[in-house]
Chains A and B, each alone.
Chain A
Amino acid sequence: MIARLIADARHVAVGAASPIPATACELLRAQGKPIRVTRLHKRAGNPFTEGSRELFDLAGQGRIDYFFLGGAQIDGAANINLVRAEGRRFPGSFGSAFMYFTCRTILFRDEHSPRVLVPKVEFVSAPGWSPPEIARRGGPVALLTGKALFAWDRERRRFRLESVHPPHTEDAVRGATGFEYDVTEPKVTPAPTADELSLLRNTVAARIAPDYTDFARRVWG
């Protein structure tokens, strides 16, 4: 699904906690797409020679097309919270307050529940929208969860349900989502094709395993 969302990308950056987005990028590469993938916490052959600030310098200039962000909480205005929720402390905002302004951003969170998808975040690590006088090239494109895909409507500043992953249902998605969203005619999320699955299990798995060891063990054994 992610691979389809970012199929037009030329340069995608992927962080340490993003094995699934990294997998999607490697799938595009395995399909022969000319995409540059910058993996931020690659253990060998890290792409930067100016230290970790180089990522932000690249993004600040507009040299990265897509980025992925998650959140302890995500609200219906596409604000994200990585700091605190319901008395619990989370790691922190990382680079989100900058990257969300500079890259087209896929919000990605496997857990799809009312405690994650809330009406209003308790703390805005990075805002989903900025008034016109604020310089901003990037922002939300879509929200992908373990149950569904939402597209971001920039004009209405609301999410729209695009598709529901089987075996989940539209009602189940409604019940598990704490914010209001638009619905037109949601589709069933298409399953990966046989070719995609074969690439994922072979070429892609081998490229992902060295940098995301736990994830690779869980998924591919």
Chain B
Amino acid sequence: MAARPEDLAGQIPDGALVALPPDYSLPSMATVHALIRRNARGLKLLGVPVLGLSADLLIGAGCVAEVHSSAVSLGEAGLAPRFSEAAERGAIKVVDYTCPAVHTALQATEKGVPFMPLRGVLGSDLVAGHADWQVAQNPFSSANDPILFVAAIVPDIALFHARWADEAGNVWVGRRRELATLAHAARNTYVTVEEMRDGDMLEDELLAPGVISSVYITGTAVAPRGASPLGVADMYAIDDAHLAMYAKRARSLEGFQQYLDEFVWQGRKSSLPA
């Protein structure tokens, strides 16, 4: 029997460092809902490079101990209310990044090197918050030239959504290539997909550039509309009205719980096979 998002959520242990994409880059909302339903605890979220609705839901539901991200926001719908509340209350540990530092740290892991340099950032208070960053002299320069070294990050889990998986176990993410870097860097990568495809997409010259090879994929599950209320390019768009409704309800704990009841707990029925 084909795996379901519940099966993927069952593979993600409490306390894991889970890397998630932003709202605009194929979040696996189906698995995020399943993590809430399985009562996941102590997750450390890594935003690649920022986080949105999926993180706010997990934080509000009490699944999260730490957030490592360049930002958590609902975009045009405004602040992420459960994140802001938990951060202000000190209920979660927040480690602030800047976007290219996340990409650089994952690229270091992808290449199997312990760190990579990054320009900029020096003089930002972000540096003081990172034992995994060091300011060092550019070893190739005879002049005084300080530069930031960013240590590699190895996520325990990468979790995202994709348009297709094929019989060979590859997945297709199109131009969202940061997900490829993420899959290359993570110990385990779990992907929900809109639909299965016959054959091997790596044999197709037009599809191959958007493929992540099965080498990097630990498990897939079929979840039609699995990114909803966020979008999948050329299939369905971000549901702005839903996000605005969420942003409004999640301002209060009661409103947030009502949202969970309606869209996460009730949603379970519709996501089960008939």
A134 CA to B123 CA in the complex, in Å?
9
**How many A-B contacts are there with CB distance less than 8 Å?**
145
Q: Once the chains are docked, how many angstroms separate the CA of A88 from the CA of B85? A: 9
Given known A16-B75, A87-B88, contact A97–B175 (CB-CB < 8 A): no
CB distance B179 to A133 under 8 Å?
Answer: no
- Distance (Å) between the CB of B182 and the closest chain A CB? 9
- Taking CB atoms, residues of chain A closer than 8 Å to B122 are 130, 134
Whether B76 is near chain A, meaning CB under 8 Å from some CB there, is: yes
- A97 to B: closest C-beta gap in Å: 4
Q: Is the CB of A123 within 8 A of B120?
A: no
Contact size class for B? 35 or more
CB of A133 within 8 A of CB of B100, answer no
Flag whether A44 is at the interface (Cβ < 8 A).
yes
Output the nearest chain B residue to A83 by Cβ-Cβ distance: B96
User: Taking the nearest CB of chain B, how far is it from the CB of A154, in angstroms?
Assistant: 16
Question: Whole-angstrom distance between the alpha carbons of A88 and B76 in the complex?
Answer: 19
Cα–Cα, bound, A129→B124 (Å): 10
Task: Kindly report which residue of chain A lies nearest to residue B177, judged by CB atoms.
Answer: A51
User: Contacts of B145 on A, CB cut-off 8 Å?
Assistant: 133, 135
Distance (whole angstroms) from the CB of B187 to the closest CB of chain A: 20
Does B254 sit within 8 A of A, measured CB to CB? no
Which residue of chain B is the closest to A41 with respect to CB atoms?
A: B24
Q: When the two chains form their complex, are residues A89 and B76 in contact, meaning their CB atoms are under 8 A apart?
A: no
Q: Is A67 an interface residue (CB 8 A)?
A: no
**CB of A200 to closest CB in B, whole Å:** 20
CB distance from A89 to the nearest CB of B (A): 4
Of A98, A99, A126, chain B has the most CB atoms within 10 Å of the CB of A98
The answer to whether B113 has its CB under 8 Å from any CB of chain A is no
Q: Which residues of A contact B99 (CB under 8 A)?
A: 52-53, 56, 94-95, 98
- Asked whether any CB of chain B lies closer than 8 Å to the CB of A17, the reply is yes
In the complex, A211→B144 CA distance in Å?
44
Q: In the docked arrangement, what's the CA distance between A62 and B144, Å?
A: 22
Tell me if B65 counts as interface (CB < 8 A to partner A): no
User: Do B233 and A44 touch across chains, with their CB atoms under 8 A apart?
Assistant: yes
The residue on B at minimum CB distance from A124 is B125
B210 to chain A: closest residue by CB: A49
Nearest Cβ on chain B to A157's Cβ, whole angstroms:
13
Chain A 35-59 near chain B by CB (<8 Å), digits 1 or 0: 0000001011010111111001000
Alpha-carbon distance between A130 and B73 when the two chains are bound, in angstroms = 29
B25: chain A residues within 8 A (beta carbon):
51-52
Q: Complex formed: what's the CA distance from A133 to B145 in Å?
A: 6
Distance A87 CA – B237 CA, assembled complex (angstroms): 35
Contact B231 A213 (CB under 8 A): no
Query: B118, A92: Cβ atoms under 8 Å?
Result: no
In the complex, whether B269 has a CB less than 8 A from a CB of chain A is: no
Interface string of A198-212 (1 = CB under 8 A from B): 000000000000001
User: What's the least CB distance linking A206 to chain B, in Å?
Assistant: 18
Closest 4 CB pairs of A and B: A51-B178, A92-B71, A101-B120, A127-B123
Which of B's residues lie within 8 Å of A, judged by CB? 22, 24-25, 49-50, 69-73, 75-76, 79-80, 83-84, 87-88, 94, 96-101, 103, 107, 118-126, 143-147, 175-181, 209, 231, 233, 237-238, 240
Interface set of A (CB-CB < 8 Å, partner B): 16-17, 41, 43-44, 46, 48-53, 56, 60, 82-83, 87-102, 123-127, 129-130, 133-136, 212-215
A-B contact pairs, 17 of them (CB 8 A): A46-B175, A50-B177, A51-B176, A53-B103, A56-B100, A60-B120, A83-B125, A89-B88, A92-B71, A93-B98, A94-B70, A94-B99, A95-B70, A97-B98, A97-B120, A98-B118, A126-B123
